[in-house]
A and B are shown apart, each in its own frame.
Chain A
Amino acid sequence: MTAPFTHEHEFETQDLMINMGPQHPSTHGVFRMVLQIDGEVVRDVIPYIGYMHRGGEKLAETMDFRQGIGWMDRTEYLAQHNAELSYVMAVEALAELEVPERAQWIRMILCELNRLSSHFMFTGAFGTDAGVFGTAFVYSFREREVILDLFEEISGDRLMYAYFRPGGLAWDVPANFERRVAEVLKSTKQGIKDMDGLLTENEIFRARTVDVGTISAADAIDWGCTGPVLRASGVPLDLRRTEPYLYYDQVDFDVVTGTNGDVYDRFVVRVEEMRQSVRIIEQCMERLRPGPFLPDRLPRMLRTPPGEIYLRTEAPRGEYGIYMVSRGGNRPYRLKIRSSCFANLQALRDMTIGSYVADAVVILGSLDIVLCEVDR
């Protein structure tokens, strides 16, 4: 721990150490940071993580590939479909499974819907961090709820879907899927409009976020940031575009990048990404055809040949990578989850030093961390 240092004013002052978290309301879970403040200005930040560490990587080594899917949900509880996707795609790549077309389209739709629900969660929580009395939170939860209802109709659970399987899906979507997606998208568009109108142009919101927590593109790359945090700095790194998986190379969408890399850009990039997700889903719905959702030949107990793969997909918070080492058998020899929040959080210290205490909260909110994913 850095010793509190004194520095010269007209009179001698000592910096105040403030312990923010793990029970602080705006640390998004159990994150803790020790702020060293001089008046209202943050001199230093020491982040502490690990309160949610459950040894997930060790546990995953003991679970076979089907059991592991349920575990992936629990590492990323706001973008479960995306987390499952990385895992099952890693298994598919190792086991050389062909995934039927219908399953791929459905996966894409669900992942994008999940991105919407996750970004709604972000906009809501971020509004609360910026000091809107719950309104942004309630608006975005209203929309997220609609999406979760759809997920429940498809997979049976509201949060822990366990719906993707190596090779495809656990079962087919219900018959009224297309109608329901159209309904959800209609409500979602209204929700994005509400969210946008409530915050994006608001002068106070802009005063709070513009040029706060700025990080340059070079720094963001050096710290290993991904996702909207990196794109807000102007780096168009979107794995859906740079390393297309599923059928992302067959749909038309825009990679959203900001210009300044500040908190405001991170917010508007996410709002714009939500619009792009809606676009992607609409295109996917047009391309969705009936067909099988699992390969014809699927072993009862899936085993993979020895090998290793680092499989990454673009989750709402950035690159969600699964490094899977297989030595044969029905479970991974080693599973490393490359969490996007973990890397993004590293950059927090750089962003926060020199800003105000109130900014520290907003900057942390703009990273959109999920502590379960950070600590695993």
Chain B
Amino acid sequence: MNHDLFGFEINVWADAAARLGLIVSLMTVVVMGLIYGERKVIARFQQRLGPTRTGPAGLLQSVADALKLVAKEDVRPKSADPWVFELAPYFVFVPIFLMFVAVPFAFHWEIRVLELGIFYVLAVSSVNIVGWVMAGWGSDNRYAMLGALRAAAQAISYELPLVMSLIAVGMVADSFNLTDIVRGQGQVPNIVWQPLPFFIFFVAMLAELNRTPFDIPVGESEVVGGPFVEYSGIRWSMFFLAEYAALFILALLGAAIFLGGWAWPLGEEWGLPWQLALTAIKAGAIIFAIFWVRVTLPRLRIDQLMAFSWKVLLPISFVQVLANGLVLVYEPPQHIADILLAAISGAGLVLVVMIMNRSVGKPRPRPVLTNRAAAATPPARSEAAR
């Protein structure tokens, strides 16, 4: 199970340390790249240039930001709970790192192959909400408190559809081992069989990442950054490191589970660079979509957000799991099973879209235009000209 990362035998501890070092350095570089990328992409969406000053085309912007954040004073409010306040960033930060363990980048190129990889990732990822609530509670700030409660409510609500959608995929793939799931998609990626779980996964991922339109815990215009409102300097940057790392990991997961990861369309025979490139391209596409959504959509309100999770996504993901189970239990011939799975899931997706349309209603007709105002009384009578 423990594959050799470097192609030769080394001590287990040294191996672990090397892998850990690899994660940390990779994570830092990736997060810096993501921040730079996000700023550039969003700038283009807004007809701006984005960072240009630091280094060629602003490439060193993230480095400059990091230096600034490290150099900044680490302020703690006098009335904050010192332990809870100071420890909160770690509770957000560490679980994200732990998620990296199971993510497959390429064939035999992962930290650890876990039989229940999906479960592990989900279990670990939900720990970081503790950190959010700690940050909100420890700050002794009402905005932070409000944001933390929103974050907790949202994370719990969207954790369930996320789990159910991944379970549905796991059923189809016949495994919870991420590597096996990817390998099973050599011919056709899972998104074809399971478009509805992909949609649920994408939406729940946005919610888990607190990204627009689900960014109510940090909504700048409402709770002014939510749980982070009192943080500064290095601690604040840890929250953001965690946020972008989570973005990266969830995009990788989405690429691996739904888009065929490194396996589709090239297959296992192609070399490591190709597989890495495939993973990167797919994850990059998901990340680009997230940026695109972020730059376009307004924020939902808390009740709409809750209703969408509990009344739409969760029931429909249960139905998806149930339908998958029925199809798989009765074991129809392979091609019929495939068609059934895809059809049911596609129908579910259409249903979700219909529910969304229905809940919002039709656009209101254009405002009333009156060329002559309604009241016909001439105004001249009221005025006594001198």
Q: Contacts A131-B213, A210-B364, A358-B301 given: A255-B369 contact, CB under 8 Å?
A: yes
Whether B367 sits at the interface, judged by CB under 8 Å, is: yes
Chain A residue contacts of B224, Cβ below 8 A: 24-25
Question: Contact string, A114-131, partner B, CB cutoff 8 A, digits 1/0?
Answer: 000000000000011111
Chain A residue contacts of B65, Cβ below 8 A: none
Tell whether, in the assembled complex, residue B371 and residue A208 are in contact, meaning their CB atoms are under 8 Å apart: no
Tell whether, in the assembled complex, residue B298 and residue A208 are in contact, meaning their CB atoms are under 8 Å apart: yes
Q: Contacts A254-B370, A272-B367 given: A142-B47 contact, CB under 8 Å?
A: yes
Tell whether, in the assembled complex, residue B221 and residue A204 are in contact, meaning their CB atoms are under 8 Å apart: no
**Stretch binding the partner chain, chosen from B230-238, B247-255, B355-363:** B355-363
**Closest beta carbon of chain A to B310's beta carbon, Å:** 16
Of A40, A208, A210, A265, which is within 8 A of B361 by CB?
A210
Chain A residue contacts of B356, Cβ below 8 A: 203
Tell whether, in the assembled complex, residue A204 and residue B302 are in contact, meaning their CB atoms are under 8 Å apart: no
Chain B residue contacts of A130, Cβ below 8 A: 221, 298-299
Tell whether, in the assembled complex, residue A358 and residue B296 are in contact, meaning their CB atoms are under 8 Å apart: no
Within 8 A of A (CB), among B22-42: 42
Tell whether, in the assembled complex, residue A134 and residue B219 are in contact, meaning their CB atoms are under 8 Å apart: no
Number of interface residues of B (CB under 8 A): 47
Q: Contacts A264-B364, A356-B302 given: A138-B48 contact, CB under 8 Å?
A: yes
Tell whether, in the assembled complex, residue B366 and residue A206 are in contact, meaning their CB atoms are under 8 Å apart: no
Whether B174 sits at the interface, judged by CB under 8 Å, is: no
**In the complex, residue of chain B having the shortest beta-carbon distance to the beta carbon of A16:** B142
Whether A257 sits at the interface, judged by CB under 8 Å, is: yes
**Closest beta carbon of chain A to B77's beta carbon, Å:** 15
**Stretch binding the partner chain, chosen from A57-65, A234-242, A326-334, A337-345:** A234-242
Question: Contact string, B298-327, partner A, CB cutoff 8 A, digits 1/0?
Answer: 111111100000000000000000000000
Tell whether, in the assembled complex, residue B302 and residue A256 are in contact, meaning their CB atoms are under 8 Å apart: no
**Closest beta carbon of chain A to B352's beta carbon, Å:** 13
From B45, B219, B301, name the one whose CB has the most chain A CB atoms within 10 angstroms: B301
Q: Contacts A139-B46, A358-B219 given: A132-B367 contact, CB under 8 Å?
A: no
Q: Contacts A133-B42, A200-B363 given: A25-B221 contact, CB under 8 Å?
A: yes
Question: Contact string, A239-280, partner B, CB cutoff 8 A, digits 1/0?
Answer: 001110000000011111111100011001100100000000
CA distance A135 to B360 in the complex (A): 23
CA distance A132 to B220 in the complex (A): 10
Tell whether, in the assembled complex, residue B379 and residue A242 are in contact, meaning their CB atoms are under 8 Å apart: yes
Of A16, A17, A26, A134, which is within 8 A of B222 by CB?
A26
Whether B374 sits at the interface, judged by CB under 8 Å, is: yes
Whether B182 sits at the interface, judged by CB under 8 Å, is: no
Tell whether, in the assembled complex, residue A242 and residue B373 are in contact, meaning their CB atoms are under 8 Å apart: yes
**In the complex, residue of chain B having the shortest beta-carbon distance to the beta carbon of A253:** B371
CA distance A252 to B374 in the complex (A): 16
From B215, B297, B302, name the one whose CB has the most chain A CB atoms within 10 angstroms: B297
**Closest beta carbon of chain A to B379's beta carbon, Å:** 6
Tell whether, in the assembled complex, residue B46 and residue A135 are in contact, meaning their CB atoms are under 8 Å apart: yes
CA distance A356 to B300 in the complex (A): 12
Whether B212 sits at the interface, judged by CB under 8 Å, is: yes
Of A236, A243, A272, which is within 8 A of B374 by CB?
A236
Question: Contact string, A215-248, partner B, CB cutoff 8 A, digits 1/0?
Answer: 0000000000000000010101010011100000
Whether A201 sits at the interface, judged by CB under 8 Å, is: yes
Q: Contacts A18-B142, A202-B298, A208-B300 given: A255-B222 contact, CB under 8 Å?
A: no
Whether B294 sits at the interface, judged by CB under 8 Å, is: yes
**In the complex, residue of chain B having the shortest beta-carbon distance to the beta carbon of A201:** B363
Whether B368 sits at the interface, judged by CB under 8 Å, is: yes
Number of interface residues of A (CB under 8 A): 59
Of B222, B299, B357, B366, which is within 8 A of A203 by CB?
B357
Q: Contacts A16-B142, A356-B302 given: A134-B46 contact, CB under 8 Å?
A: yes
Chain A residue contacts of B303, Cβ below 8 A: 40, 356
Chain B residue contacts of A142, Cβ below 8 A: 47
Tell whether, in the assembled complex, residue B46 and residue A241 are in contact, meaning their CB atoms are under 8 Å apart: no
Q: Contacts A40-B303, A133-B295, A208-B299 given: A358-B220 contact, CB under 8 Å?
A: no
**Closest beta carbon of chain B to A263's beta carbon, Å:** 12
Of B47, B150, B223, B357, which is within 8 A of A138 by CB?
B47
Tell whether, in the assembled complex, residue B221 and residue A361 are in contact, meaning their CB atoms are under 8 Å apart: yes
Tell whether, in the assembled complex, residue B296 and residue A198 are in contact, meaning their CB atoms are under 8 Å apart: yes
Whether A359 sits at the interface, judged by CB under 8 Å, is: yes
**In the complex, residue of chain B having the shortest beta-carbon distance to the beta carbon of A206:** B360
**In the complex, residue of chain B having the shortest beta-carbon distance to the beta carbon of A266:** B367
CA distance A207 to B374 in the complex (A): 31
CA distance A208 to B302 in the complex (A): 10
CA distance A232 to B356 in the complex (A): 26
CA distance A296 to B367 in the complex (A): 44
CA distance A145 to B150 in the complex (A): 37
Q: Contacts A127-B298, A131-B221, A255-B373 given: A268-B366 contact, CB under 8 Å?
A: yes
**In the complex, residue of chain A having the shortest beta-carbon distance to the beta carbon of B215:** A131
Of B143, B297, B361, B379, which is within 8 A of A204 by CB?
B297
Tell whether, in the assembled complex, residue A132 and residue B222 are in contact, meaning their CB atoms are under 8 Å apart: no
Question: Contact string, B340-367, partner A, CB cutoff 8 A, digits 1/0?
Answer: 0000000000000000110111011011
**Closest beta carbon of chain B to A232's beta carbon, Å:** 8
Chain B residue contacts of A19, Cβ below 8 A: 142
**Closest beta carbon of chain A to B166's beta carbon, Å:** 25
Question: Contact string, A184-206, partner B, CB cutoff 8 A, digits 1/0?
Answer: 00000000000000111111111
Q: What are the 6 tightest A-B residue pairs by CB atom distance, in nearest-first order?
A: A131-B299, A254-B369, A26-B221, A130-B298, A138-B46, A131-B298
Q: Can you list 7 A-B contacts (CB < 8 A)?
A: A135-B45, A204-B299, A207-B301, A207-B360, A210-B360, A254-B371, A260-B364
Other A-B pairs beyond A133-B212, A358-B299, A358-B302, 18, CB < 8 Å: A16-B142, A18-B142, A40-B303, A129-B221, A131-B212, A132-B212, A133-B42, A134-B42, A199-B298, A204-B297, A210-B360, A210-B361, A234-B368, A242-B373, A243-B379, A254-B371, A259-B364, A358-B216
